[in-house]
Amino acid sequence: MSVASQVRKSGVVRRRKLKPTLIVRIRGGIGNQLFQYALGRKITLETGMKLRFDRSEYDKYFNRSYCLNLLKTQGLSATESEILSVLWPAQSFGQTVRICRKFYPFYQRRYRREDELLQNREVPVLKQSAYLDGYWQKWEIPFSIEELLRKEIVLKKPMVMDRLKLLQRIKSGPSAALHVRYGDYSQAHNLQNFGLCSPGYYKGAMDFLSERIPGLTFYVFSDSPERAREVIPQQDNVYFADSIQDGNDFEDLMVMSSCDHIVTANSTFSWWAAFLNENEAKHVIAPLKWYKNPRLDDSLIVPSHWQRL
């Protein structure tokens, strides 16, 4: 008689132990999504937990799009039942979650906030199902699984022809990407926290690279093409890559990462372009002040080996 038959005959039913589930709340643009993905991927890689994404934020707001499903990333979108099983007795993420956390001590292990998890700058090892809420912009997290992320953060489908032509142009000689982000950073709350990179910053970065790399061409990527032309000198070795306005900014990020060198804005978008760049001899230049708000610590987000100007 088989073991399974003996178990059935004895009336004992052994339930297969289910893997705990890690649900990561996804929000913001592609740069923020990739930081959130990196933390979730790191934890599930170390623990064997199932990785799921709560992407419900994108049902409410239409100024950003969910992009992880367009890349060869691991994990799936969380179902309603999966979210409910982790957030119970709350039905979904929201005010009820915060109330539960206030009155039920066990809930502090179930719903985990960024400001508490990263107090000691270390990523904790979770042993039970949990819901993570935060942006997780800490450079050590993606760099700790750098090779894996570079294999997974790639497009599922080819770029449109215009971007492929731009890639071919970039590969024709020494290149540097300049990211000029003004758009939503011009809004009052973002100005207070981030501020805007000055024309002097970009000029200094261009001079720094030009002195070291002969024949360099600068490729300018911006969410505000007209403003970028006011900030960046219009000269023979500057190319404004703003002809494709189709909303597929995740493709622009990949194009930026293909340049030999990167001049970032104070933006997670160009942060990830720099991270994904595989040139071992690359120069990455980042603003001396990533945040305008003095209460925000930019040592968490800017790697110590990047050049600050």
pLDDT, residue 178, reads 97
For residue 90, what pLDDT is reported? 82
Q: What is the mean pLDDT, run by run of 10 residues, along the chain of 309 residues?
A: 47 61 95 97 94 93 88 96 89 82 81 73 74 94 97 96 96 97 81 89 97 97 92 95 81 97 97 97 96 89 96
- Helix residue spans in the chain (DSSP H): 3-10, 30-47, 80-87, 95-103, 107-110, 114-117, 140-144, 146-152, 161-170, 188-193, 199-212, 225-231, 249-257, 268-276
What SS3 state is found at 284?
strand
Identify the CA nearest to 149 among candidates 48, 35, 280, 259: 35
The pairing of beta strand 307-308 with beta strand 284-286:
parallel
Alpha carbon separation from 6 to 14, 15, 79, 118, 250 (Å, rounded): 12, 15, 36, 49, 56
Q: What span, in angstroms and rounded, lies between the C-alpha atoms of 176 and 178?
A: 7
| CA separation for the pair 176, 216 (Å, rounded) | 7
Task: Write down all domains in the chain, each with its CATH number in brackets.
Answer: 21-144 (3.40.50), 161-308 (3.40.50.11350)
pLDDT at 169: 97
Q: How distant is the alpha carbon of residue 162 from its chain centre?
A: 25
What's the pLDDT score for residue 13?
44
CA dist., res. 237 & res. 231, Å (int): 15
Instruction: Say what the pLDDT of residue 16 is.
Output: 57
What is the structure's pLDDT at 109? 82
